A and B are shown apart, each in its own frame.
Chain A
Amino acid sequence: MLRTNPISGDFLQLQKEIQAYADEFGLDYFPQVFEMCNYDTINILAANGGFPIRYPHWKFGMDYDQLSKGYRFGIQKIYEMVINTNPCYAYLLEVNNWLDQKLVMAHVYGHNDFFKNNAWFSNTNRKMMDVMANHGTKIRRYMEKYGQERVERFIDKALSIENLLDINYLFETNDVIQSRKSKEDLARREDENGGYVFDDRSSALKSFMRGQDKIQKPEELSEEEFASAVVAEEDVGKGERDIMRFLIQHAPIEEWEADIIGCLREEAYYFLPQRITKIMNEGWASYWHSTIMTTRAMNSNEFVDFADKHAGVMVMSKQNINPYKVGIELYRDIEFRWNTGRFGKDYNECESLEEKESWNKNLGLGRDKIFEVRKSHNDISFIDEFLTPEFCNRQQLFTYKYNPRSGRMEIDSRDFEAIKQKLLTQLTNFGQPIIEVDDANFMNRKELLLKHVHQGVDLDMQFASETMKNIFAIWKRPVNLGTKYEDKEVIFHFDGKELKHLNK
């Protein structure tokens, strides 16, 4: 099953060379492992989100199908694959030429540095390869026990809520660390008591089991205590955006089902930082492959090829901003501004255009600044803080929207504020609708009321109703969704048979 080979010979030499440049520029990275593989293997890895082993599910097969076809027909080709682990694994495609490999290696060191240093990645599990493999084994075992069809059907349902995450959970504030510590202590005590000895259960499952325990021991409570506990339940989950966690703890599901949601949740949170730093991460890696190649690694006879490859990556698109392009340019802009001192009160309040045009304080702070930026920002704060009107102008950014009169998409505006607003809206909540629990005992009938925090764009109701069906299958009571649809406040209600809407 081993389909990748460690690089050797000339490639190791090349890695040494590139790594020396990375050191010289002060990149701070995990130990880097390059492996060589053929296109079929890289397609497998890509379909698996970069990991050699995942849990069994047809969606990986579907992605693999698409990727293989894309490669076969020459529509798309994956150059490289790098995953956020320690040591950091990256896969090289064996058919790539020498220059490609060089460029990819330099690019990978950029990603590696970003994984290690960006704050939003600080809590990702760097041993994710093992975790993924364990999830695979576990779910395979459940399939043997409960039947493939049944488990697969449940995974289908659970995947429907895979994007309902709470970004804030990426950060452990002191509070969170405290409460996690106390939970771990509790878990340890339980272990010692012989309560829960199987350690391969996800942590989410453990808290689920504690939850079940509480429900199952009402006789320990006096009548009064029980009543107050029930009252307190009215607020259960209100405002919770981590729907997966909410369902693990409160849905009437079996232990193995809770465990599966727990696995999927852990994996979803692992990938989340990459989804909220796409521009920064790709921009950073591109900045470094460009810098290392053009100032160090490239031979003069490779120049044209490099320019061609680099331009291919940087291509601008009218339908969408290219994260590689906008990212690298924004870093370069920041570097330039901090080198010349074009920031702060003096510069901003300067009214002479001429003076601004030639502003140069020779501060030389650029490099330091971008290292600092890559440490503490995500895409939203990156755009919010560093996008400038001059930048938008230079980069020819625009917004577009549908014109009902001509029946086509048209360029709408090149106004700075409009562009910034559009970009921020697109990036909010990693481009996913914000859904939170509003009431876990809606209508006092144990119905679930979810709230879509409407920020200007309606949900796709076709998809939403299918999703509600799947949540119903987990919650086992009617599921409601409060949202705004075509400018009206509505509550959609799914009772297991059909979707109705109750007007507010």
Chain B
Amino acid sequence: MDHPIKRDHARFRKIVKGKVRDNLRKYVSQGQQIIPKGDDKFTVPMPSIDIPRFKFGDKSEGGSGQGEGQPGDPVEGEPGEGQPGQGEAGEGEGQKELEVEMDIEELAKILGEELELPNIEPKGKKQMASTVDKYTSIGTVGPDSLKHLKRTYKQALKRQMATGIYDPKNPRVIPIRGDYRYRSADTKVEMENAAVVIYMMDVSGSMGEEQKEIVRTESFWINLWLKSQYKDIEMRYIIHDATAKEVDEETFFRTRESGGTLISSAFKLCKHIIDTDYDPNEWNIYPFHFSDGDNWSADDTKMCMSLLDDSILPSSNMFCYGQVESRYGSGQFYKDLNSRYQKDHDKVILSKIKNKEAILDSIKDFLGKGK
């Protein structure tokens, strides 16, 4: 049996998850608070979950220390830090800022529940069924090593009560052959499926740091959700001004170009990537495009639409356009797309992201359809 502290630990984790859920909006709007850490793990900073007590506030009172230095020399660090030595049976204070580790599934579940996101039904031939055995159910036959004692005795108790043998004064429960219960395997069919997310972003002069920060945060949560939905997922990144090029994630968020904007250049590259690497029959394809809504000319916008109609939309699960508000952007592209697709095309999802607070709603716009 596990030590009872594991139960305390589980309880603590549950409280923490509740906190994350309560503060989801804050975590999302403040961007980089949740830090990815290695494979499928994240650290979430947790503001005081601690038990409140009367304590001294004013740290400027300082303290006492030991070492070299003249009056006036700086003392690095906070009072209370750097407590060296061995740990004594600690009923002490010394609470540090809490950081909690969560894995991708927990975090995605919270996001999903909070935004009421539907699960995605993947498409494509790459759906190969694979079976996994999990011991989640109970059977009446099985080997002794899988005997489920609790269920067995429960069954015996039920039988004894039903047949009137059970005597509360002498509560003896003796299982007979038919009472035995065993853990048994359920065969689950899991689908192999794969998805690719293609991010496109306008990096022309009008997209500032704040706009990029919004895109970065939004893509973090979109990735998180899609990762939890697909077994196999790839990310591709395209930046463009008047020309487009494919970059890695790092460059995607760092690059700043000046110059004009031809959105069609990105769409062309996107089409190229899909055509060469991702067979729509096998892949779930998610192109996302973020810009501030300025395009060079109406002609280019027209070209964009025909690219969408002819190749991108037919091969994708959906096409998402997020328009980040900026001081310079006209927002014309949103209007154009809206007038064209709003009515009759459920594969095109448009969302306006006014500021950081709006990120969560925009994520819901994008992912709320379950495609």
Contact = CB atoms under 8 A, between A and B. Distances in A.
A313 B86 contact: yes
Contacts of A467: 52-54
A413 B74 CA distance: 12
Contacts of B101: 69
A120 interface: no
A399 B66 CA distance: 9
B54 A163 contact: yes
Nearest to A423: B64
Nearest to B73: A411
Given A56-B8, A410-B74, A317 B58 contact: no
A78 B89 CA distance: 10
A389 interface: no
B52 A466 contact: yes
Given A409-B75, A410-B75, A452 B62 contact: no
Interface stretch (A154-162, A204-212, A222-230): A154-162
B88 A274 contact: yes
B83 A160 contact: no
Interface string B62-85: 111111111111111111111111
A322 interface: yes
Contact of B53 (A163, A319, A401, A414): A163
Nearest to B43: A69
B1 A1 contact: yes
Nearest to A68: B9
B74 A408 contact: yes
A413 B69 CA distance: 10
Nearest to B78: A319
B67 A396 contact: yes
Contacts of B62: 399-402, 409, 412, 422
B51 A156 contact: yes
A435 B7 CA distance: 34
B164 interface: no
B54 A319 contact: no
Interface string A411-443: 111100001001100100001110100000000
A319 B82 contact: yes
B91 A274 contact: yes
B158 interface: no
Contacts, number: 253
A245 B171 CA distance: 42
Interface stretch (B11-19, B175-183, B360-368): B11-19
Given A49-B90, A317-B84, A324-B85, 20 more contacts: A58-B12, A62-B12, A82-B89, A268-B91, A313-B85, A313-B86, A317-B82, A318-B69, A318-B76, A321-B66, A400-B64, A401-B61, A409-B76, A410-B74, A452-B54, A458-B57, A459-B57, A460-B55, A460-B57, A463-B54
B254 interface: no
Contacts of A333: none
B150 interface: no
A432 B55 CA distance: 6
Contacts of B54: 163-164, 432-433, 435, 452, 459, 463-464, 467
Nearest to B62: A401
Interface class of chain A by DSSP: mixed
A326 B85 CA distance: 12
Contacts of B80: 319-320
B65 A320 contact: yes
Nearest to A49: B91
B61 A457 contact: yes
Interface string A304-327: 000000001101111111111110
B34 to A, nearest CB: 17
B68 to A, nearest CB: 7
A47 interface: yes
Interface in A316-373: 316-326
A323 B87 contact: no
A419 B62 CA distance: 12
Interface in B3-45: 3-13, 15
A64 interface: yes
Interface in B267-283: none
B146 interface: no
- Highest count of chain A CB atoms <10 Å: which of B3, B7, B64: B64
A136 B4 CA distance: 10
A313 B87 CA distance: 10
A76 B166 CA distance: 56
B343 interface: no
Nearest to B9: A61
B327 interface: no
Contacts of A80: 86
A235 B3 CA distance: 47
Contact of B66 (A84, A162, A325, A426): A325
A282 B12 contact: no
A415 to B, nearest CB: 9
